Structure 1
Amino acid sequence: MNQSHIRIAIVDDQRLFRGGLRMILDQQPNFRVVFEAGNGKQFFERLAFEPVDVVILDVEMPVMDGLETLTKLSNDHPDIRTLMLTMHDSDRLINHLMQLGASGFLLKDEEPQVVCQAVEKVANEGVFFRDYVSKALLRSSRSTASNLAADRLLNAKLSERELQVLDLICKEKTSKEIADTLYISIRTVEGHRRSLQEKTGAKNLAGLVLYAVRNGMV
């Protein structure tokens, strides 16, 4: 991204947790915590006046929880990247959050350096997956075999170049790295990414990875 700082919002109903997380993020010179909020409603009230690049969003909150907030964000602000926070790493929850448009998923007991890495990656690359997220998606793809036949039909609509780009996205390559690998321009990479999202119905890069996993491509 062009700006010098990654603008961050922390949305969690536990004030002490928000404060601790803010202290961790504030230590990074390229991070700027723009504001904190105790629920989704407060978040959208602040967002109207203070734009952000990344939202660290708790799943369980009063008034307006993380699921409702994520859904509205995906629909109204698709350019904002969302990292979901939760105490639970159930396969069902992870899959649901990815389908709603989350850019990544973090447990609340992650190490501080993992949180910083996650913010950096979703801001600059659009997606962040921990091992347990990838495993949850794979287990889900095996348990929903009936859906794969319908999903595979979409593969016929993907060009060879789009499949190459999708493969590199799943390997967490940046647009520049994809462009260098395939000897094409970054603008062309972005065009392929938009086309992939339109053809697969994915809301963001995480959705493209989810699509690839469900089709047995990774």
Structure 2
Amino acid sequence: MIRLILADDHAIIRDGIKALLADVPDFDVVGLVGNGQELLERLADTPADVVLMDLNMPVMSGFDALPVLRERFPEVRVLVLSMLDHEKYVHQVLEAGAMGYVLKNAGKDEIVYAIRTVAAGRPFLCTELGIGVLHKLVQNPSSSAPAGKKATDLSNRETEVLRLIAEGMTNAEIADKLFTSKRTIETHRQNIIEKTNAKNTAALIKYAMENGLLA
């Protein structure tokens, strides 16, 4: 069971996310808070595995709460859920210890996958941000590629899944297209990450591009 605390200053957002995740059997929302100060106080007496946290909040913002949270509760994983899509904010919070970053316009499947990924201790960057980073990489071809194996070391199915990831499809959409289960696609995705040493969606897309898999 993954225990979640949702931190957002808008009650409608908190309630909406809680309702969205209500039918996910391995999720348990154990707290709803409206700012960073309330979050730290709740964590003091409520064990949690993942905090789903907004950045712009009154009293104490997510930016300010994150370093304190990482110092006091290092075992808690932080997944930022924000409308801020500029790379400087993404870089800032990841450097401060957040495990992942998802935009609020992400779909349920991507949010669920992001929570599970972060809970497992793996970094996550949502597809939209990953594609944005890809454009930056295209404009800066001197950037180094992930130091992983060659594309030929991926199985045919893994190569197919990687192409679809690079097209911006979610795990559920890929599963539907390939007539398989979402869990199978999650397994393929993790195998691809391990084989390529790509740490997030942006790096996977860059890998696909540099290995000629997007043609």
Q: TM-score, normalised by structure 2?
A: 0.63
Amino acid at match of 1:69: A
Change (3 A) 1:135 1:78: farther
Q: Distance in 2 between matches of 1:80 and 1:61?
A: 20
Aligned to 1:55: 51
Q: What are the ranges of 5 or more consecutive residues in structure 2 without an aligned counterpart? A: 149-187, 211-215
Q: CA deviation at 1:75?
A: 2.5
Kindly indicate whether residue 162 of structure 2 is the aligned counterpart of residue 129 of structure 1.
no
1:17 positional shift? 0.8
| Kept after mapping to 2: 8 A contact 1:70/1:102 | yes
Which structure's residues are more often helix, by fraction? 1
Q: CA deviation at 1:131?
A: 2.9
Q: Which of residues 69, 87, 102 is equivalent to 1:73? A: 69
Aligned to 1:15: 11
1:91 alignment partner in structure 2 = 87
Q: Structure 1 unaligned runs (5+)?
A: 153-162, 165-170, 182-207
CA contact (8 A) 2:103 2:126 kept: no
Comparing 11-20 with 127-136, which one deviates more in the overlay?
127-136
- The answer to whether residue 2 in structure 2 is matched with residue 6 in structure 1 is yes
Q: Residue 81 and residue 172 in structure 1: after superposition, are their counterparts in 2 closer, same or farther (change >3 A)?
A: farther
**Correspondence 1:26 to 2:56:** no
- Please report how far the alpha carbon of residue 133 of structure 1 lies from its aligned counterpart in structure 2 after TM superposition: 3.1
> Aligned pair count?
164
**1:117 CA displacement:** 1.3
Q: Could you say if the C-alpha distance between residues 106 and 98 of structure 1 is closer, same or farther in structure 2, counting changes exceeding 3 Å?
A: same
Q: Deviations over 1:97-153 (max 9, x none)?
A: 211111111111211222111111111242212233334556677999xxx9xxx9x
Counterparts in 2 of 1:106 and 1:26: CA distance versus 1, 3 Å: same
1:35 maps to 31
Over the matched positions of the two proteins, sequence identity in percent amounts to 29
